[in-house]
Structure 1
Amino acid sequence: MPKLQRLRTQAFHAQRGLCCYCGLPMWQASPDELKTFGLRARTVSPLRCTAEHLVAQQDGGKDVVGNIAAACWLCNTRRHKRKSPPLPEVYRAFVARRMAKGKWHPPKVARLLRGTS
């Protein structure tokens, strides 16, 4: 298993399968891992577990334990699409505010999964 994949898996288990930003459950190998919530694979595709570089690689972040967290694909992608990705703590607070307004994950996903986090 490649190093980054191993670090992602370790972070996933350490975080009990929850995204480090939105706190929702994620899946690793198959969207079917979340089928107990009654959601289709297509609906939960944004909840795929990714390796989140807390310090971005472009800023010198390395593939080491202290720099890799598990984040859902949606949170990870949205953070790093920004011109200057915010610090993880700042981004976590931003995501929390957006989720409180129901403006982060699709409402159906957030409503069904929120009770588990």
Structure 2
Amino acid sequence: MKRAVALTAALLASGAEALPDRRASAQTADPPGVEQADHPYVGLWVTEDGRVRHELLANNRYVEARGSREKAYQGRYRVTGDHIDYWDDTGFTADGDFIDGVLHHGGMILHRRR
């Protein structure tokens, strides 16, 4: 612990910025980049059994439902090409990839629901 404090103090003394708190950064504005409304993946993505549902909103936010829990997880996301990064409001991070119109995320396969 003392080493971490000493390292942080040395970095700050040298003019470096402190590392952001993951929990605080999860609730900040979205990173710069393409507006999410411009990508083709906005909408509802669902597992075959309907148990897990990801709604990717055009305002860079998502809501994940699991079973009967309609808002089990929520946070922000960013799509870069066919890759998606998630930042849950509690600080948890995850990612996934869109392959041939299917979302592969955390060992799950989600299909677009229209």
TM-score normalized with structure 2 length = 0.30
Structure number with larger C-alpha Rg:
2
TM-score normalized with structure 1 length = 0.29
Query: Which has the higher relative contact order, 1 or 2, with Cα contacts under 8 A spaced 6 or more apart?
Result: 1
**Of Structure 1 and Structure 2, which has the larger fraction of its residues in strand?**
2
**Of Structure 1 and Structure 2, which has the larger fraction of its residues in helix?**
1
